Amino acid sequence: GAGVSQSPRYKVAKRGQDVALRCDPISGHVSLFWYQQALGQGPEFLTYFQNEAQLDKSGLPSDRFFAERPEGSVSTLKIQRTQQEDSAVYLCASSLAVGAGEPYEQYFGPGTRLTVT
């Protein structure tokens, strides 16, 4: 079946431009996560959605970062007035559900590599 897809795969933006990164999760997956992965580092949590509700945005580095999932499926991560330090791979992951117990496996997309020049 189809996995998590992300578009575009590569994005080059000039400093100060706004960008929008799209994530299509696996159909039926309730949970959706965004991570930022700098070169040579592990992914770092940005934000989490359960259906259309954004339950945790504690990892967003500044108010220039905004994420939405209006219909509880596709999600968009928007970065306004991009800066060079925003250059990274942005990973999206989805999982089947959430609960009080053992976390479900997160399925990751291929990521969007953002380069800010």
Partner 1 sequence: AQKVTQAQTEISVVEKEDVTLDCVYETRDTTYYLFWYKQPPSGELVFLIRRNSFDEQNEISGRYSWNFQKSTSSFNFTITASQVVDSAVYFCALSNPGYSTLTFGKGTMLLVSP
Q: Which residue type occupies 21?
A: L
**How many C-beta atoms lie closer than 10 Å to residue 11's C-beta?**
18
Among 81, 98, 115, 117, binds partner 1 (CB under 8 A): 98
- 104 with 31: CB under 8 angstroms? yes
Least distance (Å) from partner 1 to the CB of residue 16?
A: 27
Q: How far does Cα 23 stand from its chain's mean position?
A: 7
| Contacting partner 1 within 16-55 (CB under 8 A) | 31, 33, 35, 40-45, 48, 50, 55
Does the protein bind partner 1 through residue 102 (CB under 8 A)?
yes
- Specify the stretch interacting with partner 1 by CB under 8 A; choose among 16-24, 67-75, 78-86, 90-98: 90-98
- 82 with 36: CB under 8 angstroms? no
CA–CA separation, 110 vs 85, rounded Å?
A: 21
Q: Which residues contact partner 1 (rule: CB under 8 A)?
A: 3, 31, 33, 35, 40-45, 48, 50, 55-56, 59, 89, 91, 93, 95, 98-111, 113
